[in-house]
Chains A and B, each alone.
Chain A
């Protein structure tokens, strides 16, 4: 069963609908006990970083989520702010992140050279996987996804970057460390490309 962590944020229904259409067992979860029996876990997120972190912290599910990720090594997919929550910290807030993928979430326009960019980065953009297969199987060429964000994940280790996107420079559209995956875009709102990615996540090997 794929558990979608429902801590009050993010489009849990749209993600669940896609898995149901794929005939894959899925459950919208509000109780840590269900995370313990899940095979893999989707962590969605919309909104400001601190709001998302505090909602997750207050949900009571964080200990079970930590255990599922660390002890049981279940695959976890963070989406949008859910990906940013995997970082150590964010320039958008003061609360610590989960710290599962070493890095900092930064605002796009803090570099001087990019002061003219329109923010948020909003709309459909190309995503280039660094390696074929895995989460991006079948999406190696011409995959496009919907983005909606003003902050991006800057991994401490460049090898954590799984896929890249251009927006006034290159940023990490996707990260991975071991069983932890993150995508900055919204696969649940990215038509058949997003469906393919969510299907791939359901098939990535458990560690």
Chain B
């Protein structure tokens, strides 16, 4: 049986790990390699690592950091941040990364997704869609850490990206980021109905029950979270955590039985 994936998402800024709220107020939470080692021990399903500086600073991905993380990682790795060319896709894949994510570059240059899929295969091309609600209460795609509106609706954009060659769509709610109050299920319904490639959801998970609720409704899906897996307690003390195998199996069995 193919299982839903429960995925820690780590944000890298100035070489350290941070966690944001609504894409702002980055709080330092530790060292990337150290976090990867702990997640190895905890046997996480997958890991997403996003360099949140690269696009904003208009610089290349930090290949040394990517190489170090990939070599340490005993689970599949998705890297995103600053990727704008097919050559960068191939270079990052050759460093041992299974999946490469783009967001701003996919909005600005959708053909990149098609050309990257031709070379590295669509299974390694991930589009991360950062979504914010506008004043008119409509979901809209934003880029560059939520700073620029794109005018595009998430479901239509996701469908376009799938058609061009994306092998996975990660839907990230800026409004829910760091809030730990649960996923934006309306957004998941909206985007999920538009695509047949695997989808992962990020933004809002604050407890394992939030992940269970997502899986109960959507079945085999990727449930990603940042805060949930790096903070403990109401004071947001840094403590890397993840359900153990028995806890995870129980969570999946209960959620899927009701699916």
Q: Annotate B59-82 by CB proximity to A: 1 below 8 A, 0 otherwise.
A: 000000001001111111100000
**B181 interface residue, CB < 8 Å from A?**
no
- Residues of chain B whose beta carbon lies under 8 Å from any beta carbon of chain A: 1-5, 43, 45-46, 67, 70-77, 90, 93-99, 117-124, 167-168, 196-198, 220, 222
Contact B2 A123 (CB under 8 A): yes
Kindly state the separation between the CA atoms of A48 and B211 in the bound complex, as whole angstroms: 33
Binds B, one of A11-19, A94-102, A154-162, A173-181: A11-19
Kindly state the separation between the CA atoms of A46 and B222 in the bound complex, as whole angstroms: 21
Knowing A46-B120, A120-B167, A120-B198 touch, does A8 contact B1 (C-beta < 8 A)? no
Contact B196 A46 (CB under 8 A): no
Kindly state the separation between the CA atoms of A9 and B90 in the bound complex, as whole angstroms: 9
- A48 CB contact (under 8 Å) in B67, B118, B222: B118
Contact A150 B167 (CB under 8 A): yes
A122: nearest residue on chain B (CB-CB)? B198
Knowing A8-B94, A148-B98 touch, does A47 contact B74 (C-beta < 8 A)? no
Complex interface: chain A residues within 8 A of B124 (CB): 46-47, 148
Complex interface: chain A residues within 8 A of B96 (CB): 10-14
Within 8 A of B (CB), among A92-148: 92, 116-126, 144, 146-148
Extra contacts besides A122-B168, A123-B5 (10): CB < 8 Å = A8-B94, A12-B96, A14-B71, A14-B74, A17-B72, A46-B98, A46-B124, A47-B120, A122-B198, A125-B3
Knowing A14-B71, A123-B220, A124-B5 touch, does A149 contact B123 (C-beta < 8 A)? yes
Complex interface: chain A residues within 8 A of B123 (CB): 120, 122, 148-150
Complex interface: chain B residues within 8 A of A9 (CB): 93-94
7 smallest CB-CB distances across A and B, nearest first, come from A11-B96, A120-B123, A13-B71, A48-B121, A122-B198, A47-B120, A189-B76
